[in-house]
Every structure is written in C-alpha cells, then in structure tokens.
Copies of this chain bind each other. A is one copy, B any other.
Amino acid sequence: MTVHDTSRLADRRSSGPVIPSQGRQRPLGLGETTLTSGFWERRQRVNTLATLGHCEEWMERLGWLANFDRVAEGTTAPDRPGWCFSDSEVYKLMEALAWEYGRTGDQEADATLHRLTARVARAQDPDGYLNTCYGHGDQEGRYTDLENGHELYCTGHLLQAAVARARTVGLDDPLVEVARRAADHVCDTFGNHGRQQICGHPEIEVGLAELSRALGEPRYLEQSRIFLERRGRGTLRGDRVPSGSPYFQDDVPIREADAWRGHAVRALYLVAGAVDVAVETADDELLAALERQWEHTVSRRTYLTGGMGSRHQDEGFGEDWELPPDRAYCESCAGIASVMVSWRLYLATGEVRYADLIERTLYNVVAVSPGTDGRAFFYANPLHQRVPASEQEGVGLSPRAKSGVRAPWFDVSCCPTNLARTFASWQTFSAGVGEGGVTLLQYSSSTVRASLGDGRIFGFEVRTDYPDDGLIRIRITDAPSGKVGLRLRVPDWAEGAELQEGGTRRRVDPGFAVVERRFVRDEEILLHLPMKARLTWPDPRIDAVRGCVAVERGPLVHCVESIDLPEGVGLDDVLLDPRVAPYERAGQVRARGVLRPGDPPVSWSLPYGATEGAVPSRSVELTLSPYHEWARRGPTAMRVWIPVLT
C-alpha cells in the first residue's frame, strides 16, 4: 500500500522546475493543480506505478548506482560499468522522485530518494567534486576530457534534482546540501579566476541558473552566465568530436548564432540555460537572439511532430529544409529539451506560439516514446519506418538508438529518466499565472487553485476528453472577488473554435480566448475546439516529403501503419487521394487511398527511367492512427507523410 503524507512538504504552491524571478507569466505551481483523469493523468500514473521503479531497477542491475558506492569505498576499478554520463541518469531519477513526492506525498518515493541521496552524498569529495567516472583511484583525472567527459553535464542534472527537492521539502535537505557543495566547487574551479573552460555537453548552465533561483545564490547565476559567454569561441577541441565544434555549439557565440545546430539535445539544453540567464540578468539582446533562433529553427529545421534532430550521425540538426522522415532522429530527449526551451520563452514573453509548439511536442514526441506499461521506450522517433523492427530488438538492453520497437533500457539511456522527471512534473508546464489571471495552455481534466499574487485565489475544475474530443468544460470553484482573467489557448490548428460563456457562444481565433470579468462559483465556460481530421501540406522546400501530405486531428499527428493495410499491400504502394477530405468512421480517422499496381516500369535494372511510374488504380480506405500509438500493436512499417495521387 502506498502511503501519501504531505505533512512534511514545503509550500508547493509555486513549486516547479522553472521559476523565473521575472517575466510575463509565472508557472502554475505543482501545488496549485492536480490532474484528475485523461491522457496525461494516465501517463503520469504509469510513471508513478512503473517507470520510476523500472529506472531504479535497471540502474541497480547495471551497477550505475553501485558506482557511487565504489567511489565512497575507494574501490573504483577500470571496468566501471556505464558510460561516463551514467551518473546523470541517477540524478534525473532523483529529480523525478523529488517531484513525485512533492506532488503526491508518496512515502515510497521519498524513501527511495533518501536512499539514493545517501549513496550519492557518500561519493562526494571533500571539496565538493562529485563524479564516479573521473578523479578516483586509477581513473583519469578530473576535467581531463572536457569535450567528451560529461562531468559538468552530470553536475547540472544533480543541481536540477536538488532544485526539485528544495522546492518540495525546503532547503534543509541532504540533497540540497550535496548540490550546494557541488555548485560551489564548480564556481571555484571554473570561475573567472579558474579554468577558462566549458563542458562539451551543456546542462550545467541551466542547472546553475535554476539552483541560483531556488537557493537565492547569485554566484551560481553568474557562473552560468560565464559558461554561456565563454562558449562559441573554440574553447573545446573540435577535433575530438566527429563533426567539429558546431557539434557542441562552440563554433559561434550564442548571441551571434542564426539557428540551432549540431547535437540537438546539447543545443537545446544550452538555450534553456541561456533563456534563464537572459531573464535573470534582463539581457534583452540575448533573449531576442534566442527568439530569432527559435523562429529560424522551428520554421526550417523542425518536424511536423515538433521533433528536432534530422540526423543519426551526431544526433544532430540538419541544414535548413533537411527533414527526412525515415532517418529523422527526433530523439525523445530532444523533444523534452525543446519543451524546456519553449516553456522558458513562453514565461518570458507570454507568446502563444511557444505553448503551441509545446503541445505539438508533448503529444507527438514525448507521449510517443514510452510503452503503454511504462517499461519500454523509443529513443528515436522517425516519421517513416520502411521495414518493421524485429520484436527481438525490444528485449533487454538496447545497444543503440533503434526505431520501430520500444526497448526497456539503453546502453546510452537518457530518455527513460528524462521522461520520468517530465511526467512527474507535467502540470507545471500546463498553465501560467499573471497579467491579472490564469492562462490555461494545455488541456487535461484537472483541478486548479491558483494564487493570483494579490491575496486572491482563482479556482476551477477542468473536465475534458481532449484530445479525443474537443470540448473543454471549465467550472469555477473559487471565484475571486472582483475582475479576473481566464485565458484559454486556442491552438494554432484550431480554426473555427468557439467559446461558450455567460449565455453566449462566439467564434475565437487561434491565440488566446480571453474572458476577463467577475466570475461566479459553479458557472461554466466551455471551449469547443474543432476536431475534424485535416490534411497538412509541407513547405515545398522540404525535399524529403515533396509530393506527400500528412493527416492531423486536433493536436495529434496521425500515421498509417502496415498492420492496417489490406492483406498483400505494402506501405510503399499506397497513395492518398487528397481530393477526398479525411473523415472518421467507427471511431478512427480514414482517408481515401489508391494503390499502385505492382512494380512500375523502369528502363533498366536501376530504379530510374525515361517515364514516370504507372498510374495507380485500385481504391482502398486508409486507416490512420495517432502517431503516439505507433507500434503499440507490435512492430509495423509506418508513414506520417503519405505520397499523394497527382
């Protein structure tokens, strides 16, 4: 039996992973909203019941946890299990456990976190250095491989875990103390009078900035700023990585860059930290540069799913318009990192486009990765799978980022724990407070009780079957005195949405539907979002999906899976007839398909010839499923972008 006890919890009202000291909006805190049912509540529940334990079990089994014990006991050995960054997985799990306990008071999560904290704390050196791969016994010395060693990356995740703890139980906690000593060590070592170096994998920047906010320690923010400004000047040895300094964003100073490039997770973690620094230091020039980079990257280097990272090679961004659906990497962690970036930009600017991209990414990258049981994960999330994966690839430790089948754990296993911390704190990305009211950004059945900052409380209950259904019902439970704003995000795709309130029903455009008035208890405000399936066309400059169309419904990108095709028909032989609008039948999205009759004629054995392929003939009804459901019925071939009949 799970015991829930919130008596030890700190004031969680404003609790969450990102709490800027200024900006257009503050996030709704973990203590201000609870998911009650629906899409995200189910995933949060599976995270609680399965994923957290799954992550701990795997890291215990593989010895990634015992690495800390070995350092403490002075028994490090050359055969240390795990990559040099395995400590970070432990910290991400600890962050997830901290949010879990903070959200629910789950005593088991708290106990696990205590145990892990004790093991980690014992491995910390007297001067605050903490890493199980360097600097002990026969290991390489500290900071001898800044390019690939990931030491500061690991520390950054430690700091984020401590932020979660500090904001849920308070500052008097052993994990917070460990992080404080680690952060002090980083400042002592890499400050203006220390080593003029940076870490090959950004993360320390965002960790230091948030710890600075959580502990009120300006030195950490300053160190984050120093790391940011030092980057982009060839500090790291570009010849130590396959594609040179752009790989780790050391080619151009961050405020001079045009677009995100190189390794996608690195690029996005760096930007997340940069937004934090820009906001806290009121550096409007830097903020404007990051917004421009967001625009460039989103409009030319981002998948329909919100996924980022076009290349397996370097796990990196491609050039503008380089968005192959089959070799899309779209790493699950890059999706999470993209949400981190857009969330920070939303809080700073209040612009709806950031929340639009967050929704797209949450439903079509973040929700795609975990298996229904919370014990298997996609690492990469391509938009086209030609050959179904083998079931075998979903058994045991996966040696690499395969697509097409979810695997329980990976040699490089960044996604499971990253998803765990994201699901554990999901609602903290769902709404903002400020500008005289509450802004609801992501829709889920939930209760909200928000402090407006002027002593007033605004409470309401959200009931919805979104994204299956487009009706969102909001019933006021705590009506504050006087006028208050309720702003509802109308997604960018929701042309024809309607708002029903105060006895009227009116059309609302994409952006924010605003009701600003005095509310009364139990009154209902209804938002109707149009959920008709629709065709979506790519910009003609995206070479890899020219002549194709995708089907979307609400926030969900859809796909065709081979399992839903008629017997004997391959996914390569299917075209979509765009003259017929997609429709719904028996609860599923459908479209009119046309089959190509076998192999088209070619002039020679090479697949190129003097004429275009044969004209397709036979009609077929195509069944489309939400992309996040891909491969849940077993490995399949799959397409998001479907060639059109011309």
Residues of A participating in the B interface, judged by any CB pair closer than 8 Å: 239, 242-244, 295, 298-300, 302, 304, 311-313, 318-322, 324-327, 353, 356-357, 360, 384, 386-387, 399-400, 492-493, 495, 534-548, 550, 572, 596, 600, 602-613, 643, 646
Contacts and interface: CB of A to CB of B under 8 A. Distances in A.
The binding surface of chain A is classed by DSSP as: loop
A103 to B, nearest CB: 32
Contact of A543 (B357, B399, B544): B544
A600 B540 contact: yes
A244 B390 CA distance: 14
A120 B540 CA distance: 56
A81 to B, nearest CB: 14
Given A242-B400, A319-B386, A321-B386, A607 B356 contact: no
Given A298-B605, A302-B606, A311-B312, A646 B643 contact: no
Nearest to A304: B608
17 contacts: A299-B606, A302-B606, A312-B312, A318-B327, A319-B386, A322-B327, A322-B386, A325-B543, A353-B604, A495-B610, A536-B610, A539-B600, A539-B607, A539-B609, A543-B643, A547-B547, A550-B608
A383 B492 CA distance: 36
Contacts of A299: 602, 605-607
Contacts of A321: 386, 572, 607
Contacts of A600: 539-541
Contacts of A540: 596, 600, 612-613, 643
B298 A311 contact: no
Contacts of A544: 324, 543-544
Contacts of A400: 242-244
Contacts of A239: 399
A605 B386 contact: no
B543 A613 contact: no
Q: Please give the count of copies of this chain that the complex contains.
A: 2
B537 A610 contact: yes
Contacts of A541: 572, 600, 607
A331 to B, nearest CB: 14
Given A386-B319, A540-B596, A604-B356, A610 B534 contact: yes
Contact of A538 (B550, B596, B608): B608
A527 to B, nearest CB: 19
A386 B302 CA distance: 17
A608 B534 contact: no
A225 B243 CA distance: 39
Contacts of A536: 608-610
Contacts of A534: 610
Given A546-B548, A572-B321, A304 B386 contact: no
